[in-house]
Amino acid sequence: MGVRLKMGAAMVCLLALGAGAQTAPQTVRIQTYAGSTGPLQAVVASAKGFCGKHGIECELKVLNSGPLGMQTLVGKTIDVAMPEINAAIASAAGGADVQLLSGSVARPIFTLVARSDVKLPNLAKGYPAVMHDLKGMKIGVTARGAGSELQLVQLLRSAGMSAADVTMVPVGGPGTAYAALVTGKQVDALMMFQPVKTLCAISRNCVKVVDPAAGEGPADVLAQDGASTPFVARREWIEANPRLVTALLAAFADAEAWAKKPENFEELVRIYEPITPLKVPDADAIRRSWLKDSLAVYSLNLKRSAVQAAIRQAEADKLITRHVDVARFVSSHAPQ
């Protein structure tokens, strides 16, 4: 009898351990960007407990360029990257077995700006004429081969120019990029994501040159609206973890809905204050303006036609030499 009781107790312990193991949250490692709103859905899901609500743990890893995020993803140090669409396409065309998991930012994220003392005689004419004013200038991009460079190349080529007409300089994220443009004057212009556009508008130290998010630029770049900056994961990870993927996207959906409610804006500002330190005059006003403007561009929905447009443009610009099949490239989990 004593042996049976001991065996029964042991079985109860084993079952309890097994139940505990099953309920332990799985960790999802997600790329984020320093000094930017980055993957808003992931940032808010982590800060507000939406990941925990759906039984997972979201761990944010700072990787300040799309190519670095993709390299880290392929190397299995993170599970989800957030590159600009062209960087994701380039990675897939290069042989990485990755899929677009969902959207994150729908509209084009990069704006071309120039320092206020740079002569732009065709600025009032807009795109494409103004691009010719930049010939021979130094233009800052986040990193060589990053989405900022790839989209700049598209703007140049559609204006009848080439990448050889300018000098591209890697300047990192918005903080270091703005300093390189305005303070150090190491570059004349930037192809950069927010908050640089807002910094320029408020400080008047720089001016907007071309803003695809506002409908400026070539039609083939504007056609990518709806797939600008997606969440990307390895195919094998997606296929091995269908429930985890469903939980992650549910947490992201909750976070996006929460962030877009006007009554939550003040708390959203508090979430982003430590993430987006701004050492400039009127920092709080800039952050608030930038956050309000940014909310409209976020969407988990992924427009398949926009992905196809981006692939077509990458092929036309010879950014890739191997075709990427949109049906295989987009995960069946991706909302639309």
3-state secondary structure of 34: coil
Claim to verify: residue 102 and residue 233 sit in the same structural domain: yes
Q: What is the pLDDT of residue 137?
A: 98
Q: Quick one: which of 298, 299, 306 has its CA closest to 223?
A: 306
List average pLDDT for each run of 10 residues in the chain, which is 336 residues long: 44 44 81 92 98 98 92 98 94 96 94 97 98 98 87 94 97 91 97 91 94 92 93 98 98 99 97 88 88 94 96 88 95 96
Residue 205's domain spans which residues? 111-222
Given 222, 250, 279, the domain boundary residue is 222
Domain containing 186 — which CATH number?
Answer: 3.40.190.10
> Is 7 among the domain residues?
no
Distance (Å) of CA 52 to CA 42, 47, 203, 210, 237 = 12, 10, 40, 41, 20
Claim to verify: residue 120 and residue 164 sit in the same structural domain: yes
**Strand 206-210, strand 111-115: pairing:** antiparallel
Element spanning 249, H or E: helix 242-259
> Is 249 among the domain residues?
yes
How many Cβ atoms from other residues are within 10 Å of residue 244's Cβ?
19
> Is 2 among the domain residues?
no
Dihedral of the alpha carbons of 27, 28, 34, 39, in degrees to the nearest 10:
-140
Question: What is the C-alpha separation between 115 and 180, in angstroms, rounded?
Answer: 10
Q: What is the pLDDT of residue 17?
A: 42
Q: Quick one: which of 334, 335, 305, 336 has its CA closest to 99?
A: 334
Q: What is the pLDDT of residue 147?
A: 81
Claim to verify: residue 267 and residue 254 sit in the same structural domain: yes
Structural tokens at position 66: 């799309």
Q: What is the pLDDT of residue 28?
A: 98
Q: What is the pLDDT of residue 12?
A: 43
Claim to verify: residue 102 and residue 204 sit in the same structural domain: no
> Is 6 among the domain residues?
no
